[in-house]
Structure 1
Amino acid sequence: MSIKDKLPAGTRLGFGTAPLGNMFRAIPDAEAAETVEAAWQHGIRYYDAAPFYGAGLAEIRLGDILAKHKRSEYVLSSKVGRVILDEIEDVNARDLGEKAGVFAHGRPNKMVNDYTADGTMRSIEDSLKRLKTDHIEIVWIHDLAQDFYGDDWLSVFEIARKGAFRALTKLREEGVIKAWGLGVNRVEPCELALDLSEAKPDGFLLAGRYTLLDHQRALQRLMPDAAAHHAEIVVGGPYSSGVLAGGAHFEYQKASPEILAKVEKIKAIAKRHDISVKAAALQFALANPVVAAVIPGASRPERIAEDQAAVSEVIPDDFWREMRQEKLVAENAPLPIDKA
């Protein structure tokens, strides 16, 4: 099992398309198109989408632009677990739990959770149409353990184990897809999936749980277990919903005073060493050998160039030493200086 082998050679930076679903704000179609094209022009060849992002809006926008390029030159991942219906609803009234209002500017189509085998196949078929393609290389099972499930997330996991897990394993064995895994923002379902004796995932898209602001839980068990199973991780949300990139959100909500204070400490250290916080955020995630790639999102073309520059920006070793000394990163977190 290896996600890295399924990505374009040399890929470290991919493109997360949640913002293209009108995340937090309504993005003009032209701006969304320019952003995807900017990603292409900067050499990005891995794109991650999901039906949930604006009720299919992100997939539609991504498909429109990528259809202009050769399909053999890029890799797509999308997600299953939610099916988009033709029925229209009040977007602001959606019961999205912790993500309430995040995609209030998306399409008004109703979405239903469906982790069964049939729901998985329908979701993939619908995504193929929106993405204007005949295949998707990697499929993630989306949001199995959202907080709004409470303790019921285990029952949702069980439905997926009997449905989506087995359906995707069959598709992988048949060569229809190259890999599958979980796309979640909690580590517990990933840990549980690695313990299964059947239908094992190839890896995980872990959103928000391996960032400068939140990585301790992932380091305890998930990272070592993933390494032991050769299951690699794509890090989503490396800027923690934007607060590490100058935004105001953390975990899809307004950042708390405590989080903002921590961000200010990181900014101060970054300023002393004359580096960008974006560079620190991306290179922190990539320093872990289990991480296959990072996929920050962007809704403006100029952000793509910033992300690309951040991956290769030179960060002094003293920056990382100070971050560790100030306990802003866990003592056992792999850092770029540890590779020297």
Structure 2
Amino acid sequence: MKPPPTPDTPPLAVHTLGRSGVPVTALGFGGASIGGLYRPVTDDQATATVEAAWAAGIRYFDTAPHYGLGLAERRLGAVLRTRPRDSYVLSTKVGRVLDPADGPGDDSDHGFAVAATLRRRWDFSADGVRRSLEDSLTRLGLDRVDLALLHDPDDHEEQAFREAYPALEELRSQGVVRAIGAGMNQSRMLTRFLADTDVDAVLCAGRYTLLEQDAAATLLPAAQKTGKSVIIGGVFNSGLLADPTPGAMYDYTAAPEEPLRRAARMQEITTSHGVPLRAAALRFPFGHPAVASVLVGARSADEVRDAAAQWRRPPADGVWAALRAEGLLPGHIPVPPGGTRSR
């Protein structure tokens, strides 16, 4: 594959993950969608999406074996191999090992529109961590990743702390990875990682958004206290904050009536201030200084271009106050400074 033309957009603002020295762009690319999340994505479509992210200035890319049973890793690696390895930062995850499947089927039970030629097996042992990372490098076709994250150890907490985390720490000390952490859809265990281990960063999905701020109570203060970083995933709460209409997804399922109502009212308010809801949602997490990057998932070049454009669009003055005035955003939650737009 020939490298595409030099992008006409410079890289986005960069923040460092904790004390690791690993730089991530403020807007990062989340790879689940190009692994066929919810509906199929072709190889050509996935390639165009990643290339559009690069052209938009994104230089931080996140993926996982879970995403399409390794498909997202293979597709992301195919594009990134055409770029100088030191020009971007890549994270993947450990905790699910992929084994050959017993028979034909599909992966719809896990949310991915792909053939189930492999099956996931939870493995937070030290050997499982090492095998998972080796397998990921093979699928990516790269010699290293920059950040390795324990993926969803919710039901494997003690093994994750006792076996998986020390294995990651050893891999970091050997220089196999530059930074380590954990990625989850909850705050409690991520707060424990920040307080009780020497992780560099954690990835918190869906728990620090315009719609809900569970991570504000303990996770973000713990990160700030320890000098570590938080990456925010699920900033649109599975799509609800991108398009709050009936049938929208929320936390990987159909949105219940109450969050749908709140998100729709938020959209009315932000629109009245001249800014789309998705632009406010992308900017919101950066009100807290511990947030280093926000990941946005996209399945098409148009989607990723739109996300980058919304990211570069500063919220209008008064939009945060208007959301607070209607009780849609708690008064104690920090917000980023507004832009120069007026009504």
1:57-206 alignment, distance < 5 Å: 57-89=71-103, 100-105=109-114, 107-145=116-154, 153=155, 156-196=156-196, 199-206=197-204
Cα deviation 1:88-138 (Å, max 9, x = unaligned)? 4565578xxxxx441143543111000110000000000001111000100
**Shift in Å, 1:278:** 1.2
Matched residue of 1:69: which SS? Answer: coil
Q: Contact between 2:316 and 2:338, CA under 8 Å: does it hold in 1?
A: no
**Shift in Å, 1:243:** 1.2
| 278 and 91 in structure 1: CA distance in 2 versus 1, 3 angstrom threshold | farther
One-letter amino acid of the counterpart of residue 208, structure 1: G
Match of 1:321 in 2: 321
One-letter amino acid of the counterpart of residue 132, structure 1: G
Correspondence for 2:64 among 50, 53, 58: 50
Q: Contact between 1:227 and 1:290, CA under 8 Å: does it hold in 2?
A: yes
Match of 1:331 in 2: 331
Matched residue of 2:67: which SS? Answer: coil
| 278 and 88 in structure 1: CA distance in 2 versus 1, 3 angstrom threshold | farther
Matched residue of 2:212: which SS? Answer: coil
Q: Percent identity?
A: 37
Match of 2:233 in 1: 236
Aligned-partner Cα distance in 2 for 1:208–1:133: 29
| 180 and 284 in structure 1: CA distance in 2 versus 1, 3 angstrom threshold | same
Task: After superposing the two structures, state which structure 1 stretch, 37-46 or 328-337, moved more.
Answer: 328-337
| 235 and 213 in structure 1: CA distance in 2 versus 1, 3 angstrom threshold | same
One-letter amino acid of the counterpart of residue 70, structure 1: P
CA RMSD of aligned residues (A): 1.9
Q: Contact between 1:24 and 1:101, CA under 8 Å: does it hold in 2?
A: no
1:252-263 alignment, distance < 5 Å: 252-263=252-263
TM-score normalized with structure 1 length: 0.90
Cα deviation 1:8-67 (Å, max 9, x = unaligned)? 46x211100000110000111111110011111111111000000011010011011111
- Structure 1 gaps, min length 5: 95-99, 146-152
Correspondence for 2:43 among 17, 22, 29: 29
Higher relative contact order at CA 8 Å, sep ≥6: structure 1 or structure 2?
1
Match of 1:226 in 2: 223
Task: After superposing the two structures, state which structure 1 stretch, 50-59 or 308-317, moved more.
Answer: 308-317
**Shift in Å, 1:252:** 0.4
Aligned-partner Cα distance in 2 for 1:238–1:61: 23
One-letter amino acid of the counterpart of residue 227, structure 1: Q
Aligned-partner Cα distance in 2 for 1:22–1:93: 10
**Shift in Å, 1:7:** 4.2
Aligned-partner Cα distance in 1 for 2:193–2:23: 26
Match of 1:12 in 2: 26
Matched residue of 1:336: which SS? Answer: coil
Aligned-partner Cα distance in 2 for 1:332–1:304: 32
One-letter amino acid of the counterpart of residue 296, structure 2: P
| 58 and 88 in structure 1: CA distance in 2 versus 1, 3 angstrom threshold | farther
Cα deviation 1:286-331 (Å, max 9, x = unaligned)? 2211100001100010111111111221322211110111121122
**Shift in Å, 1:195:** 3.2
Aligned-partner Cα distance in 2 for 1:260–1:182: 29
Correspondence for 1:208 among 202, 206, 221: 206
Aligned-partner Cα distance in 1 for 2:157–2:105: 26
Q: Contact between 2:106 and 2:116, CA under 8 Å: does it hold in 1?
A: no
| 45 and 16 in structure 1: CA distance in 2 versus 1, 3 angstrom threshold | same
Are 1:283 and 2:283 matched, yes or no? yes
Match of 1:150 in 2: none
One-letter amino acid of the counterpart of residue 157, structure 1: E
Matched residue of 2:265: which SS? Answer: helix
Aligned-partner Cα distance in 2 for 1:339–1:141: 37
Aligned-partner Cα distance in 1 for 2:115–2:50: 18
One-letter amino acid of the counterpart of residue 29, structure 2: F
Matched residue of 1:158: which SS? Answer: helix
Aligned-partner Cα distance in 2 for 1:219–1:338: 20
One-letter amino acid of the counterpart of residue 214, structure 1: E
**Shift in Å, 1:184:** 0.3
- Structure 2 gaps, min length 5: 1-15
Q: Contact between 1:206 and 1:236, CA under 8 Å: does it hold in 2?
A: yes
Cα deviation 1:134-158 (Å, max 9, x = unaligned)? 001000100112xxxxxxx3xx111
